[in-house]
Structure 1
């Protein structure tokens, strides 16, 4: 860290965005779609942790649950209640997909707080796949379940007639902006938190401000622990809200 914090002329030089560079795990060649990278590795670790939690937590199914089973049941119940509260009983059939999205983001966010790790959810390419996936599924589902009546989502019957076309245009634009805002919100918050941590870690290499920087790192790290869970929750609850629009477009 000291080499990174001090340049050749003794100035303060560090690069907080270097931690977001995607690199091949093997060799230094160009990255292709099939190249195994640091991002691929940590996404795979996140998936493995989810599988281990759910498989281990539900293997014995004891009446008095152990720690692993308690965590698995807590996450399961938390997401199921969220889906049911936002979308109603009709949305419960889509619970497995929403639980998968929530757990992937949650584990990817928390694993990224480990030393020497990588944050896949700081990459817009990753969050865009999640956001566009939600958008496509909700849109297709809306037309499959409601047919042309799904367009009622954009037509405000309670508004004055003269304003309805304008409102419909605004609603249509905001609808197509959803995957962009859905994706950027998650990637931006995760990237910002990790960048700030790296900045204070760079300052910690300077003896004069080291104690202050260390205290700041502890405080920001604690905040990032909260942000990691909150961002997974926000992404998931917005998914539920969008799903509700597909199930009940006239509401």
Structure 2
């Protein structure tokens, strides 16, 4: 593809069955082991090793243990600030959610193509981010109804709502509430996909200009390459920000379920 000077920016998002599993099925449903599943598995393994490696509980913590404890403390403070004392019980879930998204985002940005591997960003697919959003939304609903029963519906009637708006405000609040999982998953998916597409397009500029000769390689290729490096650094920042935003919004939704704010 590169030798012909053609780069398909969407090819990197193609989900492909691996190791001849494309015909695997159960009850008529395809269960092929795909590149997306592989990289989610790799993310889970790397995250598990990271946490286990820092779970030594040494009296004088090393850098690895301090890194794990720093992430844990960060999530604990996030929940304490947004949910209150009741947020402590959600630390394991929000920590796992935040770290999985963060690691998946970063692993998808590694330049493994230099050694013949092809990284895949699972969070660039709405099927993955949507499932994470639905999981968080389901926990919010379970917590809300478990703690407050039918009184949970009072969440859709803000304090001080005039009687003459009682027919409209609850409908607006309900629609806004139901849109949450969609917007939560869409935000992460779009951010990761857009960055990868931009990097791929810039790489096509570098390849095509280099194939066109030294003049165009200098005029177009060099600036495009420098911009690629800058955007790669920006994408690393976005990878962390998007993981944080997903965890933050989930904690805010849990606050609604806990405290009916």
* TM interval, short-chain normalised: over 0.9
Query: What are the ranges of 5 or more consecutive residues in structure 2 without an aligned counterpart?
Result: 112-117, 211-215
User: Match for 2:247 among 236, 240, 244?
Assistant: 236
Is the 1:156–1:164 contact (alpha carbons within 8 Å) kept by the matching residues of 2? no
Of residues 13, 18, 27, the one that matches 1:25 is 18
Deviation at 1:18, TM superposition (A): 0.6
TM-score, normalised to structure 1's length? Answer: 0.92
| Closer, same or farther: CA 17–48 of 1 in aligned 2, 3 Å | same
Shift of 1:148: 1.2
Partner of 2:2: 2
Q: Secondary structure at the match of 1:183?
A: helix
Alignment of 1:60-79 (within 5 A): 61-79=57-75
Contact 1:24 1:31 in 2 (8 A): no
Match of 1:9 in 2: none
Structure 1 residue 110 corresponds to structure 2 residue 112: no
Report the Cα distance in structure 2 between the residues aligned to 1:27 and 1:147, rounded to whole angstroms. 49
State the Cα deviation string for residues 114-154 of structure 1 (Å, max 9, x = none): 12200000011111110011111101210110011111110
Match of 1:137 among 115, 136, 139: 139
Aligned pairs, how many? 242
Kindly state the Cα deviation for residue 72 of structure 1 after the two structures are TM-superposed: 0.5
Map of 2:213 onto structure 1: none
**Cα RMSD over matched residues?**
1.4
What is the TM-score when the length of structure 2 is the normalising length? 0.89
- Judged with a 3 Å threshold, the aligned counterparts in structure 2 of structure 1 residues 62 and 159 are, in CA distance, closer, same or farther, namely same
CA shift at 1:30, angstroms? 5.2
Match of residue 9 from structure 2:
16
2:43 matches 1:49: no
Tell me the CA shift for residue 54 of structure 1.
1.0
Q: Structure 2 CA distance, aligned partners of 1:73 and 1:55?
A: 12
Query: Is 1:155–1:168's contact at 8 Å kept on the other side of the alignment?
Result: yes
Gap change, CA 1:20 and 1:75, over 3 Å in 2 = same
Q: Which runs of 4+ in 1 moved over 4 A?
A: 30-33
Taking the TM superposition and a 5 Å limit, the aligned residue runs for 1:1-251 are: 2-3=2-3, 5=5, 13-27=6-20, 29=22, 33-59=30-56, 61-115=57-111, 116-205=118-207, 206-207=209-210, 208=216, 209-249=220-260, 251=261
In structure 1, runs of 5+ residues without a counterpart are: 6-12
Q: CA deviation at 1:63?
A: 2.5
Confirm or deny: 8 A CA contact 1:121 1:186 kept in the other structure. yes
